[in-house]
Amino acid sequence: MAGTYGPVLEALTARHTVAGIDYPGSGDTPRSTTPLSVDDLADQLIAAADAEGLARFAVSGFSLGGPVAIRAARHPERVTALVLTAAFPHRDNRLALASSVWSKIAASHDRELLAEFLLLMALGTQALESMPAEQLQQNLGYTAATAPDGSSEQTDLVGQVDVRDDLAGIKVPTLVVSTTDDRLTSTALHRHLAETIPGAQLAEIPTGHLPMLERPEEWLQLITDFLDKHHAGTHTTSGTTRRPSA
């Protein structure tokens, strides 16, 4: 969780109780011996809230954490609101191809190649092209060193997810944050979420897939304004994509 929410985590915890999970193969969580499923990850998210004694809470889902958060919303007696950032309800052709390549590189254990692919796909145009060569090399090294051991299983799940049938039944306030220079999850997928979830609010950030790296203060403001409006005092997070160092 810290790899995704790290740049905004301190500010979030100053105003909210924050609990979260690392997917199997990320952080200190062991790799799964069976294929991952959205249902299992959603159940783990609810269990993390239970462990913290949180009866009702908002859920923030980033990237793959988006469909996990959506599936967790099948518990409306627990979930008070959703924040979905750079998320998707299903794979389109671009995401299917990207997740397939990502999974194959991760399975090859070539961490340097994986880092090159991740930075190429995850960073927005401005962030990538404005990065000095020395910083780019540092980021490549950091990304290679911190890539989750379970990257292959996690990206396999990306290629299988489909929560479109869940969207119309969501009954809690929802914020969809669209990353408009995203090479992994397209704005069409973001808009599909916003247009199908009843009453969902759409906000746009001109970044690639990593708003926590490119525009953390703007991303944080969107989240906290939304949570304040909907009086969500507790907050759980779902999403473990690793970020390059600043």
Where in the chain are the domains?
2-93+153-238
Architecture in CATH for domain 2-93+153-238: 3-Layer(aba) Sandwich (3.40)
- State in Å, rounded, how far the first CA of the chain is from the last one: 17
Enumerate residues 6+ apart whose C-beta is below 8 A from 46. Answer: 72, 75, 78
Strands 174-179 and 57-62: unpaired
Q: What is the pLDDT along the chain (246 residues), one digit of tens a residue?
A: 556 787 788 888 888 888 878 888 887 788 888 888 999 999 988 988 888 888 899 999 999 999 999 999 988 889 999 999 999 999 999 999 999 999 999 999 999 999 999 999 999 999 999 999 999 999 999 999 988 888 889 999 998 999 999 999 999 999 999 999 999 999 999 999 999 999 999 999 999 999 999 999 999 999 999 998 885 555 565 554 333 332
pTM, 2 dp? 0.91
Q: What are phi and psi of 169, to 5 degrees?
A: -90, 0
Q: Tell how far CA 224 is from the center of its chain.
A: 17
